[in-house]
Structure 1
């Protein structure tokens, strides 16, 4: 699994999180400057929610591939489960304020905790991958 493929999902989910945590109004202001003032409400639910869903699913797919490669099964790979919990929390944090009024502080907390878990699981996975690659290279060089 490549760093680029895994970081693609992280960038998407971090973008969505940043929008939900305060960057959304900046994008809405830019859209209004170009005559798209209704873009803010469209951005929130019709763009950010699907983008968050796709990003989290992309990360989970990559973590499942990594789990099968390193642990033999996804069910035995801790970063997958940590990422799954983090992705679910962040996703609920994005969606919750649009479903229940007055839940923005809860949604913000869920996004922060969820993204911390998701990023931590991805970094852990990349470190595992790097460790495996280094071990494979050292065994190849020692056999030559």
Structure 2
């Protein structure tokens, strides 16, 4: 697994999180300028949520592959669990305000906490991968 593949999923989930945390009105403004103002609510539910889902699954899948390669099993690889939990919490934060009225602040908090765990897991795995590659290069 390369850090480049993991970065793609991380970038997608960061984009969705940014949209949900405040960049959404910017996109809505751009959509209105182009004549697509009716798509604001559609953008949130039918575009951002699937993008967040794909991005989180992509990173967790890559963490699973890396866990299998480095630890013998993803179940014994802490970045996998941290990424899975963080991605799930952030995903719930994106979905919650659209399902339960009045939960925008809770959703925002969930996105911030979840993305912090998610980014931390991704960075942890990249550092772990580079450290192990450096150790194997030194031993060779």
TM-score w.r.t. the length of structure 2 is: 0.99
CA deviation map 1:20-75 (0-9, x unaligned):
00000000000100101112111100000000000000000000001001110011
- How far apart are the structure 2 equivalents of 1:138 and 1:58? 31
- How far apart are the structure 1 equivalents of 2:28 and 2:128? 40
Q: Which residue of 1 aligns with 2:86?
A: 86
1:116 corresponds to 2:116: yes
- How far apart are the structure 1 equivalents of 2:81 and 2:11? 20
Runs (5+) with no aligned partner, structure 1: none
- How far apart are the structure 2 equivalents of 1:3 and 1:87? 17
- How far apart are the structure 2 equivalents of 1:56 and 1:88? 8
- How far apart are the structure 1 equivalents of 2:139 and 2:82? 31
CA deviation map 1:73-127 (0-9, x unaligned):
0110001001111011000000000000000000000000000000000000001
Q: Which residue of 2 aligns with 1:126?
A: 126
Runs (5+) with no aligned partner, structure 2: none
Q: Which residue of 2 aligns with 1:6?
A: 6
1:20 corresponds to 2:20: yes
TM-score w.r.t. the length of structure 1 is: 0.96
Runs of 4+ in 1 over 6 A off after TM superposition: none
- How far apart are the structure 2 equivalents of 1:29 and 1:39? 11
- How far apart are the structure 1 equivalents of 2:39 and 2:8? 25
1:107 corresponds to 2:107: yes
Q: Which residue of 1 aligns with 2:72?
A: 72
Alpha carbon RMSD of aligned pairs, Å? 0.5
